[in-house]
Amino acid sequence: MRQDLRCPTPPPDFGGFFGRADELDRIEAWMRDHVATRPPSGHGYLSPLVLHGPPGVGKSALAAEACRRLNVVTHWVSLYDADRSDVEPTLLRLLGESRAARAVIVRAASGDDRAFRRTLRDELTRRLSGRLLVLDGVPPPVGRALLSFLRDCPGLAVLVTSRQKAGWRRTGARLLAVKPLDVRATRDLVARSVTGEPWPDRGPWSSRARWAASLTDAAQGLPALARITSSFIAHERKPRSQAQTDESGPQWLVRLALEGCTSDERDLLGHLAERNSASPFTPRAVQWLYSPDSHPRDVRSVLGGLLAKELVQRWSGEAYCLPQPVADAVRTAERPSPVPSSRAVTSLWAERVLQSTAVLLDGRALPEHRHGPEPGPVDPSELVPHLDEFMSLLTGDAPRGRQQDAIADGLALLLAVLGDAHRLVALHRLWPTLPVRRALSSLAADLGLPEQAGQLYDTDTWMNPAASHHKADVLYRSGRLGDALKALEELLDEDRTVDRHTAWALLILGAVRCDRGEVAEAEQALFRAATLHRASGCRRGLGWSLLHSARVCLLSGREAEAGRLLEEADEVLLSVADTRGGNWVTTESLRITLRSGEQDAGMELARQAQAQHAAAEDVRGLAWTLLHMAPWALEQGDVRGARAALESAEKFSVECGDDLGRAWAKHRIAVLPSARDGDHSASVLVSLGPALALFGEIGCPLGAAWTGLEMVARRRPTDIHEPLLNMAEERFQALGDAYGLAWTAGVRAVHHGRLHEEWRTAAAIIASLPRDIPVPDPERLMRELTRFLDGSRALGGRTIPSHARDHVAVRHTGPWFLDLPGQAAARCRVRVTLLDDSPSDDTTARLLVRVSPEDGHPWAAARGERPWLTVTATPLTHASVDPASALLLPSEQTVHGAEFGFTAHRIGTHRIRFTIAFERTGTVLQQVETELDILDQDEHRGLTSPEAVPHRGR
């Protein structure tokens, strides 16, 4: 039962509706008067309509039918078990389902209680006007409290169903009694349910008229019981006994139905009756009514049997309900032996399910439970229908203990990942524990509210690994790269035990290094992060690691590899319902599409990315999407469009407190061409000084280098600019960026040429670059450098092409060598040997991996100190490898290698990736891939050794 958290919960669908024409007419007339009209002043007197009557009389079905006949936005809220503590969560849920702004309520959550309630009222007034709200099964005290908040909502119509007539005074409510059906109407309802026709006086029913009539009369005019009667008649199940002396009609009817139930069906009904609630439930919620080791093996099948007997009714989709008259009769007829409280059992399940699912979201280790099997992790999207049920376990008279804290912890993390700010704020006000505050603070950072994030969770007060990781994350998203690195130092200390916080710290470290332009360091950190997240089962952490790894690939000009990583990241993030992560995948995919020159596809993807970020209220995502669009617009000659995108990006960056985005927006605005002449001439009137200062303040050497280089390029050549040029060159050298060094050489050539008449050509500049550093599209670089040098005498100089800032060209190591500094250094060769001939499907083939140092390498000496290396094997096709990782020593000897068992689960070509890393530090040295042809059992051709395939080493 998947539902959109940002859309109203629709009315239930009970199937065919018959009768009650008079009540429907009166409800529809009231709806037309209260929904279709809106007071001119914007305010009006709220006059709800209360449908009251006994349980099972059909109030909910009547209200649902009336809603279907009126074309208006309807919110349906079931409140059968609510008390006063549920009022605020219900109102916040309504705001979320009305697509109210998340940021508004999160800001209010960090303030005082009075201001929060004022904001809540204002938001309700703004968002619920012109809608229909159905409060189903609400007790009068809860209804009155809700109506007091809703009284100022103009054009809001409130329809209430309640079992109580009393208690609605001073609410302005109109009361409409929903009475049991008379005998004729009940018989017609039963007959129409069976044949679609009214109850016949004669004909085929004559042979069963007497017992059919007695069963119908036993329903006492309650539609919920009349459905059970229709089941008897449809299957021609004549009652085997008569009602006992002290047995009411409903009790007799339900007892007869129970006689045809299996033991599993009777047991399930007993648990549902113990639940004592008419609110809807799902098959998963039924499982949670049992102790962990005793639930039925096939809940859906058992529910199907009860549904066929009409003892349980379908609410809508995958949701069901147990009519109260049935529950009352079951409790009387079955007289069940004492069972644990349904709330206690559900709380036990909720704790375990939420904590197991939290493993997917943050990689935590599960606590050990004393008894019962552990539920496996549940797809977070599958828990969406149960969010309010989880919340209800913390309201009312819920005890405050370890179990409730664990429920609140897991629920808060789930709500933060789902982006459900309104329910998370409600949870924070109900249960303001440290994990809940941290989750809300994280969501505030997602919404571009770093100040509120700090107020909600003061990381300087709570000195623990979670606080350190959270602080670094908020600093990173604020663009404070240098401060984020400092915050990570404690978590990345070599003496500290590796845990989930290490994995998240490495993820943030990789993202920070990427934004600083440090490609190799970013790749190593992100690979370690991905490895740790895989090991802990944290799919969300793995997804974000892959996403940032794709960003590193884009920075170093490897679009194809970035595309593959983004596809994998999208799949992983989707599996844990991380919509925000999926939106960033779209933004990074946009960069690949724009670079490929696919204009139409790029524009469509740009619109999609902006719409997704806007829907998630991810202001930072909007800013960076626009920042990526601007260079492409400039490439198309659309200077005005590029300027508009950059100015919007700067505005959004300021709004969300992202100093890195603000710095790049300032930089790119300053170097925009002054005219649409395509010559890249820049206006010298826009200063680059603020951007340079900001890059220096936040710790972004890549941005500082390009800004300093641009400042020199646009000024008249004098010796006074030499320090700025040297600064840019030093930073590009520190980054190992050949692309930046090429443009630095070009700017230096212009200045030296003007000052000393020593002119250099573009070819000479490119020839001077290190040969082992592949520069993306060298022909294009040659053309642009030539153009830059030829136009160097133009007034105001020429700017470096905008796209140049998007690449960091670093030295790639070959696929078979471990990287050591220096071009002439001795290297290590990775050897992969197949130890079994002719591998076939579903049989294990042994692979030996060795790292062989070349002569002259320090590890080649017989007595030289050789470090332990970790080899991790990752099958990239439908196969398995055992073990997943092993240790080896650099050596030619077989005994020092690492042996793996490879089992292919299909025939064809298979690919395996081996990752070599230092065992002590985890620093990744190399990745290699190999291919094997797996043949059918009857064939005996094959490779006697693996076939190497090129793969860039790390």
DSSP 354-373: HHHHHHHHH-PPPPPPSSSP
β-bridge mates for residue 373, sequence order = none
**pLDDT tens by residue, 555-612:** 988 898 899 999 999 999 999 999 999 999 999 999 999 988 888 898 999 999 999 9
pLDDT at 761: 78
Higher pLDDT, 716 or 787: 787
- d(Cα 525, Cα 505) in Å, to the nearest integer? 9
Using 50, 70 and 90 to split pLDDT, how confident is the model at 823?
very low
**pLDDT tens by residue, 97-155:** 999 999 999 999 988 999 999 999 999 999 998 899 999 999 999 999 999 999 888 88
pLDDT value at 683 more than 60: no
**CA angle, 558 then 562 then 565, to 5°:** 145
Which single residue is written with the structure tokens 């440290």? 434
Using 50, 70 and 90 to split pLDDT, how confident is the model at 613?
very high
- Long-range residue pairs from 900-903, CB within 8 A, at least 24 positions apart, any chain: 900/846, 900/847, 900/849, 900/873, 901/844, 901/845, 901/846, 901/847, 902/839, 902/844, 902/845, 902/846, 902/847, 902/873, 902/875, 902/932, 903/842, 903/843, 903/844, 903/845, 903/879
pLDDT value at 649 more than 90: yes
- Residue 514 in contact with residue 562, Cβ under 8 Å? no
Which single residue is written with the structure tokens 């079994």? 836
**Which strand (E) or helix (H) includes residue 869?**
strand 869-875
Percent of the chain with pLDDT over 70: 86
In one-letter notation, the amino acid at residue 385 is: P
375 preceded by a cis bond (ω within 30 of 0) = no
- d(Cα 93, Cα 388) in Å, to the nearest integer? 9
Please give the structure tokens belonging to residue 649. Answer: 């990006």
- Give the up-direction half-sphere exposure of residue 136: CA atoms within 13 A in the CB hemisphere: 24
Please give the structure tokens belonging to residue 29. Answer: 């007339």
- d(Cα 366, Cα 448) in Å, to the nearest integer? 31
Using 50, 70 and 90 to split pLDDT, how confident is the model at 35?
confident
Please count the residues of the chain.
954
Using 50, 70 and 90 to split pLDDT, how confident is the model at 340?
low
pLDDT at 597: 84
CA-based diameter of the chain, in Å?
118
Which single residue is written with the structure tokens 């600019």? 721
Q: What is the mean pLDDT of residues 639-651?
A: 94
- Give the up-direction half-sphere exposure of residue 944: CA atoms within 13 A in the CB hemisphere: 0
pLDDT value at 96 more than 90: yes
pLDDT at 943: 40
Q: What is the mean pLDDT of residues 348-352?
A: 89
pLDDT value at 715 more than 90: no
Per-residue CA distances from 350 to 340, 358, 379, 454, 788 (Å): 15, 12, 14, 30, 65
Number of helical H runs and strand E runs in the chain? 37, 17
**pLDDT tens by residue, 279-299:** 899 998 888 887 766 666 688
**pLDDT tens by residue, 400-440:** 889 999 999 999 999 999 999 999 999 999 999 999 999 99
β-bridge mates for residue 916, sequence order = 871, 926
Please give the structure tokens belonging to residue 878. Answer: 């439908």
Question: pTM to 2 decimals?
Answer: 0.82
Q: What is the mean pLDDT of residues 765-789?
A: 77
Which of the given ranges, 19-28, 231-240, 480-489, has the highest pLDDT on average? 480-489
Characterize 356-380 residue by residue with b for buried, 16 or more Cβ atoms within 10 angstroms of its Cβ, and e for exposed: bbbbbbbbbeeeeeeeeeebebbeb
pLDDT at 824: 39
Which single residue is written with the structure tokens 């617009």? 633
- d(Cα 522, Cα 762) in Å, to the nearest integer? 31
718: left (phi over 0), alpha (psi -120 to 50) or beta: beta
What count of other Cβ atoms lies within 10 Å of the Cβ of residue 869? 24
DSSP notation for 198-242: PPPSSSTTGGGHHHHHHHHHHTTT-HHHHHHHHHHHHTT---SSP
Using 50, 70 and 90 to split pLDDT, how confident is the model at 862?
low
Please give the structure tokens belonging to residue 831. Answer: 């050897």
In one-letter notation, the amino acid at residue 651 is: K
pLDDT value at 820 more than 70: no
pLDDT value at 773 more than 70: no
**CA angle, 417 then 420 then 421, to 5°:** 110
Nearest Cα to Cα of residue 615 among 583, 654, 585: 583
**pLDDT tens by residue, 501-521:** 999 999 999 999 999 999 989
Domains of the chain with bracketed CATH: 21-177 (3.40.50.300), 181-284+292-331 (no CATH), 340-457 (no CATH), 459-571 (1.25.40.10), 578-670 (1.25.40), 685-812 (no CATH), 817-949 (2.60.40.150)
Q: Give me the chain's average pLDDT, please.
A: 84
- d(Cα 352, Cα 72) in Å, to the nearest integer? 40
